[in-house]
Amino acid sequence: MKLLVTTFIEKDDLGKLKPHFNEIRIRGLPQISRVLEPEELIQEIRDINVLIVEFEQITQGVLTRSKQLKLIASVRAGPGANIDIEAATKKDIPVLYSPGRSSDVVADFTMGLLIALTRNIAKGHFLVKTRQLTEKNPRRPGFAKRDIAWATNEPEKFPYLKLKGVGLKGKTLGILGFGAIGKEVAKRAACFKMKIIAHDPYVSMKEAEKLGVSLVEKDKLFSEADFVSVHVKTTPDTDGLVGERELKLMKPGGFFINTSRGALVDQEALYRALKKRTIAGAALDVFQSEPLTPDNPFLDLDNVVLTPHIAGACHENYEKASRIVTRGIKDYLDGKKPQYIANPQVLHRKMSIRSKIADVKGD
């Protein structure tokens, strides 16, 4: 059997898979530091039996031309983002995935963005690095020698006053989407002694109360929260979930954070709210179109923190995902039901797991 790997898998985990394969082929990100183009993927996948993937688009067209493919394992929590699950199911190809791989690291990043925004950490860093708060001949008034030392020659630039921020204790955090990541954000926010409310139609009140969180309607979340953080999956029903109406409900001093997906938010409405300062600021890791173009209007705003879709970029989540998909592949090849499978119905079809594996023993 042949395995194609187009993402980062731990060396020890690959070692566990070696006894099952005659060939393990490493391509894409680990080899050339980029995602394979569709035609490149088609060329590589023609004789492959098992695929471990992260970003390559596994479309119906790709699947049609991959005659030997028996199993797809995604290191993502939502494999549907780049894999045509329906097409794979029609071909009796199970799709494994890695739930919760990013929940901790994205929650950490969300709190980091929130603090960087509200305490002006990002802005302070920018002003110092661009030398806007440096002085060739620093003024040293007596009180500053042993106290507030960053006194500038221009009083209006005094950073202790210019960059005065907002504390978190006692403030209300509204979490839109209370799944794995939303729950982890709530746990961290509780450590800052924040009041936490959430909106998620698929979560029970009892489940939220275990974490000291009150479930509320969406309108109430936007109107009562000092900070709104979005953690919702993108579907046709959630596209544009946050628009002008929701943003108008926010407090004038409210802050908006999105580490989920850009499609969830009406970008033009958010830009207008920030430009007119009907909300205080936003921290955005995701956008409708990525990467941003040099003329993107968000780049000209002084009340935003922008990052290039890196909330999930962390060594630990790759290690976790590597373990999950390795275990799933081994279980499948050993004739056991994998724990995390996006289309379990394929395991109940006419062809059993063992007969599938037998088909490729001679490859």
Distance between CA atoms of residues 332 and 67, nearest Å = 19
Is the same domain home to 12 and 73?
A: yes
Is the same domain home to 220 and 260?
A: yes
Residue 8 has pLDDT above 80, yes or no: yes
Residue 51 resides in a domain: yes
CA angle 214/218/224 to nearest 5° reads 65
pLDDT tens across 122-169, in order? 999 999 999 988 888 776 554 555 665 677 777 777 888 889 999 999
Percent of the chain at pLDDT exceeding 90: 83
Residue 363 tokens read as 């490859």
Is the same domain home to 114 and 244?
A: yes
* Mean pLDDT along residues 343-352: 74
Residue 84 resides in a domain: yes
Is the same domain home to 110 and 252?
A: yes
pLDDT tens across 248-282, in order? 999 999 999 999 999 999 999 999 999 999 999 99
Residues with active-site annotation: 261, 290, 309
Is the same domain home to 250 and 188?
A: yes
- Identify the domain boundary among 285, 306, 327: 306
Is the same domain home to 218 and 259?
A: yes
- Identify the domain boundary among 286, 306, 326: 306
* DSSP letter (8 states) at residue 253: T
Is the same domain home to 213 and 299?
A: yes
Residue 46 resides in a domain: yes
Residue 270 resides in a domain: yes
**How many domains would you assign to the chain?**
2
The mean pLDDT value of the chain amounts to 92
Residue 308 tokens read as 């290039």
Predicted local distance difference test score (pLDDT) of residue 142: 46
Residue the block writes with tokens 């929590």: 77
Q: What is the pTM of this model?
A: 0.86
Predicted local distance difference test score (pLDDT) of residue 154: 74
CATH of residue 82: 3.40.50.720
Residue 353 has pLDDT above 50, yes or no: no
pLDDT tens across 216-239, in order? 999 999 999 999 999 999 888 999
Say if CB 53 and CB 40 are below 8 A apart: no
**Residues spanned by the domain of 82:** 2-101+315-359
Q: Which residues pair with 283 in a beta bridge?
A: 257, 305
Residue 153 resides in a domain: no
* Cis amide linkage into residue 141, ω under 30° from 0: no
Is the same domain home to 248 and 112?
A: yes
Distance between CA atoms of residues 304 and 276, nearest Å = 13
